[in-house]
Chain A
Amino acid sequence: MNHSNHVVSSAITAESIADSSVVAPEAVAQYALGLGDDALVLAHRLGEWIANAPELEEDVALGNIGLDLLGHARSLLTYAGTAWGKSEDDLAYFRGESEFRSRQLFEQPNGDFAATIARQFIASVYFAELYRGLSSSQDPTIAAIAAKAVKEVDYHVDHSVQWLRRLGLGTKVSHERMQRGLDAMWPFVDELFRADPFAAELDGIAVDPRPLRAAFDGLVPRLVIESGLSVPEVAAARGGGREGIHSEALGPMLAEMQVLARAHPGATW
């Protein structure tokens, strides 16, 4: 194995990175924390569907998609944590609401199944473009996490597009609900493609989300219209997730996500 491969292979793990000597540079850690929070918050929302989805297959599907996202979150938070001597659990369970940097789409409540599909559709297309770009990052850890993630996220896009079509072109009720779901999630699209404050000084390492909007706009409106739905014309939400500004939905979600770890600090199972 050549030297560059060796550096990559010993650098990137959720499980063993804590034991490795690789430490994320401060600016990269700050950036990875935001990406990790996006994945973590959405993973938790999807987990809320388990045993509640319209059919057993969707319990499994949403659970599996959440598990993939949790895997991305673990890798990204573990890597970020190397800069500060913190573990993935320290970062996930022992930060308050205003310390979370997730963009506001991901914390939006599940709503009905159609609203969850709308959120997942938007999120998956965004993640696919983001991770495709990051897979050639000059930071070998970020690049490896992204190269793995992009294959998984492509599958998530496929899943949500199939449901978008089925619900959009289904019955009058499913159509109306799918449209309502899109209308509810659409205000949070804009924030995804605003400049990431933690990407600014990371040329070649981070991906500027702004140019990704063109790929999103080239794909998403067409799929929405093909599904018999209309692209919502709504004002963009204020945003600010990267700066710790969140909608009212995040606090209660974190309370539930963090309660066990805070009641029994250091517990393992």
Chain B
Amino acid sequence: MNPSVLSAEATTEAIARPRPGSADELAVWNLAATVVDPEVPVLTIEDLGVLRRVAIEGATVVVEITPTYSGCPAVDAIRDDIAAVLFAAGYGKVEVRSVLAPAWTTDWMSEAGRTKLEQYGIAAPAHRGAGGTVSLGLGIRCPHCGSMHTRELSRFGSTSCKALYVCQRCQEPFDYFKEH
């Protein structure tokens, strides 16, 4: 493989999952990383790229998360779940902050997360292009039968991050995790 492609992947990974360097902070990170998205419970917040930073500031453990969408109501549940996991592990003072910058993108979703999503029956997001004047929709593969012969039913689905599709071959409807 082209080395520049490899290094681009490594860079994306470092941005998507900025694991702390110190062992103490990494222990907190690994606990927080077990929390799942309440709407898509096969994905952890680490898979999603929603877990942004862990730091130990004096007696306080600080965990930063980012919402997928500005109005995402799952943020409150995720915050409570992180606090619960860390309290249960014996951390006394936990502060979960939400941050907006840099803005979340589906390109931060891990490869493992994409596989789990497909197995769960949700089509994984396409990678975002460099951005141009025309928004061209690529074909979305049916997570049930693998057919590319699918059709968008609605650009908005059961949560902010999903669109609703139907497969023309197996006739099953499915969610598509929108590239964002």
Chain A residues with CB under 8 Å of chain B are 1, 5, 8-10, 12-16, 19-20, 57-58, 60-61, 63-65, 67-72, 74-75, 140, 143-145, 147-149, 151-152, 154-155, 158-159, 162
Q: Does B147 contact A (CB under 8 A)?
A: no
Contacts A/B (CB < 8 Å), 5 sampled: A20-B97, A61-B154, A61-B156, A68-B69, A148-B101
Q: Chain B: residues with CB nearer than 8 A to chain A?
A: 18, 52-53, 64, 67, 69-73, 75-76, 79, 95-105, 135, 153-158, 160, 164, 178, 180
Within 8 Å by CB of A144, from B79, B100, B155, B158, lies B100
A153 and chain B: residue at smallest CB distance: B70
CA distance A144 to B97 in the complex (A): 15
Q: In the complex the two chains form, is B155's CB within 8 Å of A159's CB?
A: yes
Smallest CB gap from A64: residue in B: B156
Taking a contact as CB atoms closer than 8 A, the residue among B69, B72, B73, B158 that contacts A60 in the complex is: B158
B158 touches A10 (CB 8 A): no
A/B pair count, beta carbons within 8 Å: 99
Contact residue among B100, B155, B180 (Cβ-Cβ distance under 8 Å from A61): B155
* With A60-B157, A61-B154, A71-B67: A13-B97 Cβ-Cβ less than 8 Å: yes
Knowing A12-B100, A16-B98, say if A74 contacts B71 (CB, 8 Å).
yes
Complex CA gap A151/B64 in Å reads: 21
Q: Report the minimal beta-carbon distance from B140 to chain A, rounded to whole angstroms.
A: 16
The DSSP consensus for interface residues of chain A is helix
Chain A residues near B156 (CB-CB < 8 A)? 57, 60-61, 63-65, 159
How far, in Å, is B176 (CB) from chain A's closest CB?
A: 13
Cβ-closest 6 pairs across A and B: A71-B70, A71-B71, A144-B101, A57-B154, A61-B156, A67-B71
A59 and chain B: residue at smallest CB distance: B156
CA distance A29 to B73 in the complex (A): 25
